[in-house]
Amino acid sequence: MGESTLRDVAELAGVSPRTVSNVVNGYARVTDATRSKVEHAIAVLGYRPNVLARNLATGRSGQIVVVVPYLDTPYFAELLQTIIPTARKAGYNVLVDQTDGDRDHEVELIGRGPRRFLFDGMIISPLGLSQEDLSLRDPTLPLVVLGERPSDGTFDHVGIDDVAAATEAVRHLISIGRRRIAAIGDQPYPTGEAAQLRTRGFRAAHTAASLPVDESLIISTTRFNRADGATAMAALLDRPDPPDAVFCYSDLVASGAIHTALQRRLRVPEDIAVIGYDDIEDGRYGRPTISTISPDKKAIAQLAVERLIMRIGSTEPVLGVELRAAHRLIPRESTLRDAP
């Protein structure tokens, strides 16, 4: 007995070959009842679509790729938890690529490299790419950018207002009576836009409260991780005039900073208050729980997938847009001892 064909599936399911094709490719709307019949027939017959032939005929792979700098960063893992099911519901498989922030690797992915045929479009959170690199990408690649690389009009950018969010975080520290506030996470180089926007917010909150900014309390880090947070906090606490609060540019940085403070037998938040950024799950269950800025990760992921699929399906050039997701301040024990 030979391999089952698409026509065999159609006959068993009692539908047209076109309907089977629509179910397999996820292109057209199909009722749940019809989809169930087709999927049952596929399972009974053991039908396996000829993916290579389909790709050649349609020019589509049915896959998108999500490119992030680090998979061990909880923020990106949590984004993927929404991106993957959202894309799957639209009929797309999701490939994931980790770049480690390597510019050459990121440039290769957005160019006309040999792997371009593997995916129909890309969602990328770049770390090494410059704005110029993005402008020189493959113009046929449907692209949505996360993070802080503004759209040049040819791709979509999805993010939150980092300046406003950082301002709100520091305003919270000021509201609880802290006046000597440090910042951990600045990245004063061309591809450190996200960190620089948070530093702008840090300064803006001081200006609004008529407080001077002590430049020596703004500590740079190469990554937003626990180790960098712990090292930076140690340097701050070794000063003769340590801060009474710290704004950390990620919850991982905050976690490392709190670890060092507790090792030094300081009380958090009584002796030093700490606020993070990203609202990762770990921050909700440590002791103390970490006050944070919570971006609407679900909205970011859904907007990114929806815009990418729209771009993939469009036969005309699509003007790039700037899309802003919401954020909110969540006070917890690291700034308010009696916080819920």
Please give the chain's pLDDT, 340 residues, in tens.
567 888 889 999 999 988 888 887 665 578 888 988 988 988 888 887 765 555 555 567 889 999 999 998 999 999 999 999 999 988 899 999 999 989 999 999 998 776 777 899 999 999 888 888 988 888 889 999 998 777 888 899 999 999 999 999 999 999 999 999 999 999 988 778 889 999 999 999 999 999 999 999 999 999 899 999 999 999 999 999 999 999 999 999 999 999 999 999 999 999 999 999 999 999 999 999 999 999 999 999 999 999 999 999 988 888 999 999 999 999 999 999 776 6
Alpha helices in the chain (DSSP H): 6-13, 17-25, 32-45, 51-58, 74-89, 103-110, 131-135, 162-175, 193-208, 226-237, 251-263, 297-313
**Separation CA 7–CA 167 (nearest Å):** 61
Q: What's the maximum distance between 2 C-alpha atoms anywhere in the chain?
A: 83
Kindly report the number of other CB atoms within 10 A of residue 190's CB atom: 10
Which DSSP state fits 137?
S
Phi, psi of 65 (to 5 degrees): -120, 140
Give which of 65, 125, 61, 62 is closest to 95, Cα–Cα.
65
Q: Is the dihedral of CA 212, 258, 275, 101 positive or negative?
A: positive
Counting beta carbons within 10 angstroms of the beta carbon of residue 16, is it exposed (0 to 12), middle (13 to 18) or buried (19 or more)?
Answer: exposed
What's the CA angle centered on 93, arms 160 and 280, to 5 degrees? 35
Token pair of 329, please? Answer: 């301040």
What's the CA angle centered on 98, arms 93 and 102, to 5 degrees? 140
Say if CB 281 and CB 78 are below 8 A apart: yes
